[in-house]
Chain A
Amino acid sequence: MPTPVIEVRGLTKHFGNIVALQDVSMTLMAGEVHCLLGDNGAGKSTLIRTLAGNNRPTAGEILFQGKPVAFRSPADALDLGIATVYQDLGLVPLMSVMRNFFMGREPVIDCVLFKLFRKSEARRIAREEMMKIGIDVRDVEQPIGTMSGGERQSLAIARAVYFGARVLILDEPTSALGVRQTSMVLRYVARLRNEGIGIIFITHNVRHAYAIGDRFTVLNRGRTPGTFTRAEKTRDELEEMMAGGREMADLTEHLSHDALEHL
């Protein structure tokens, strides 16, 4: 069996006396979409923030390609090619596609006092990279605010990939998107998987997870019942495990009773 790109062993994170994560273990292989499922407050954010180098674990360890690593900052994780795209995407809406794409990593030439921003090169690369994911940005000087949610999400991912991400942590990439936009992002994620990038896909939407995921790790109140493949669990079973399942069923029943009474 090949070495996982990332392996988490017995990860525990306490904030004071609050247990955010308790003994969580999971692995991520290259070229796999590993879905991290859980309701709000289940510990998804804590887990990814730890993997991204924002938090330090209370106990347990993280292995990168089989070797233990300790991230002191997000830059450490980034250096290993672990890139996180948070829900706010890290894009500046008023800035153009090209300026956003190269923000903080501008191609430059030295010129006396300043580093000249090589804009024609930046424009060309930004257009090409967006074209690769099927978004035809005719005008890369267009502010990001004019793009659709799916396009922005795709841009944020494309930027991370262009700058060398081998592992992508996507935080709820589809939660704010409509159906068409979601399928656009999911197709892009599938393509990156085929290119050998390991993807941790965080969501509370089992439908989206089931559409793209190879394996699923469920988080429930900071603990995990384990990792499952698509063959092992159905969509309903996964939903059930997120603790939302039973409640949703109850709620549906409850609401239908209410509705009947009111008739």
Chain B
Amino acid sequence: MSAIPKDERFTRTSLFHALMRRPEMGAVSGAVLVFLLFLLAASPTMFSARGVVNWLTVAGQLGVIAVSQCLLMIAGEFDLSVGSMIGFSGMVMALLFRFAAVPAWAAILAGIAICLCLGWLIGTIRVRSGLPSFIVTLAFLFILRGATIVSARMLNGSTMVGGMREAKNTDVVAALFGGQIGQGVCRWLADIGWLEKLPNGTPTVTGLPMIIVWCLVLGAGAAFVLAHTRFGNWIFSAGGDPRAARAVGVPVDAVKVRLFVYSAFCASVFGAAQVFEYGSADASRGELKEFESIIAAVIGGALLTGGYGSVVGALVGALIFGVVSQGFFYTGVDGDWFRIFLGCVLLGAVMFNTQVRRRVTGVY
């Protein structure tokens, strides 16, 4: 049987080809371009320690939800309720803390638990009803945002709940979300003169916000699961061709529900970090984040139709978003231009990704 001619397309896989096959190639090259652009156009303060922490924080926040959005998109779904879930989770935690006199740690855990249940509900409605996730999660975009505003007004009288600034200094769990890491390192770096000090003697950067750590941990976990576990293979197959996946026994619906739960979890991490970092919850928190997370995932190589994508790509997409959204401030160009630029970056990255994917995977 060895007489069967080999297919010429299998005879060579160059390093270039192997690299181009990575779904995150477009995002990585886009990130290089964006960095070069801002290195040239922006004032050097953008790349000072303080500037870097500034856009890294924005990227880290988005990264947390881009990771879950990316997994969902690979599984053939997406979640438009993420932004509302962020506002909702933060409000639940704040209201519990302020009005139910619960300690911060309990408020956070309860808020996360409620979000997990909601994620399960959204996912279950999606797979049981057969309605597209666009409709189901769009409904929850409004339901959760509405619930956030209503509950805040009823209990608090206004849609902004403050007075939680101290929690992160006294509560370990609150510090885990809203605190900073590496404060000692920053002080040391300032002492040896590597980091500038403010006139009052504190370093310009006091530490890295915990959200960046969350982003990296969740990202690494998701990337590992996707690449190296059975569940990861199920995610790809659920989005690639649910019928084929079911035919070989992949529990497609269960995979999707779990990913909706994960999406809600990531949103509540984002919510908790915001509430306890800034010390307040606001009913409008997280608006538009659902679209920003989709943008990050798509720039990162994820396909809206499922079956293809990369967690690393989504994180790089979030990084591009952070750099672009904060970078305009340093260029002197009016910040309102950032959305136009971002839209163009999105379009360019997706066109590039589509071309590469067609050539490399043979799928049109």
B245 within 8 A of A: yes
Rounded to whole angstroms, the CA-CA distance of A147 and B308 in the bound complex is 18
Q: Decide if the interface of chain A is mainly helix, strand, loop or mixed.
A: loop
One of A134-142, A202-210, A215-223 at the interface: A134-142
- 5 A-B pairs with the lowest CB-CB distances in the bound complex, closest first: A104-B248, A92-B240, A134-B4, A145-B362, A145-B363
**CB 8 Å contact bits of A62-106 with B (1 = contact, 0 = none):** 000000000000110000000000001111111100010011111
**CB 8 Å contact bits of B249-286 with A (1 = contact, 0 = none):** 11000000000000000000000000000000000000
Contacts A105-B249, A137-B10; A117 near B360 (Cβ below 8 A):
no
B192 within 8 A of A: no
Interface pair B237/A92, CB less than 8 Å apart: yes
Rounded to whole angstroms, the CA-CA distance of A75 and B143 in the bound complex is 40
Identity of the chain A residue whose Cβ is nearest the Cβ of B359 in the assembled complex: A146
Contacts A93-B362, A137-B10, A191-B1; A114 near B244 (Cβ below 8 A):
no
Interface pair B232/A117, CB less than 8 Å apart: yes
Contacts A94-B363, A148-B7; A117 near B230 (Cβ below 8 A):
yes
B217 to chain A, nearest CB (A): 14
Query: With a CB–CB cut-off of 8 A, which chain A residues contact B228?
Result: 116-117, 119
Rounded to whole angstroms, the CA-CA distance of A143 and B2 in the bound complex is 23
A187 within 8 A of B: yes
Contacts A104-B237, A114-B230, A119-B228; A90 near B10 (Cβ below 8 A):
no
Contact of A92 among B6, B7, B11, B307 (CB under 8 A): B307
B9 within 8 A of A: yes
Interface pair B229/A93, CB less than 8 Å apart: no
Interface pair B231/A114, CB less than 8 Å apart: yes
Interface pair B230/A145, CB less than 8 Å apart: no
A184 within 8 A of B: yes
Interface pair B233/A136, CB less than 8 Å apart: no
Contacts A93-B362, A138-B13, A142-B13; A104 near B245 (Cβ below 8 A):
yes
| Chain B contacts with A in 1-20, Cβ cutoff 8 A | 1-7, 9-13, 18
Identity of the chain B residue whose Cβ is nearest the Cβ of A154 in the assembled complex: B4
**CB 8 Å contact bits of A35-48 with B (1 = contact, 0 = none):** 00000000000000
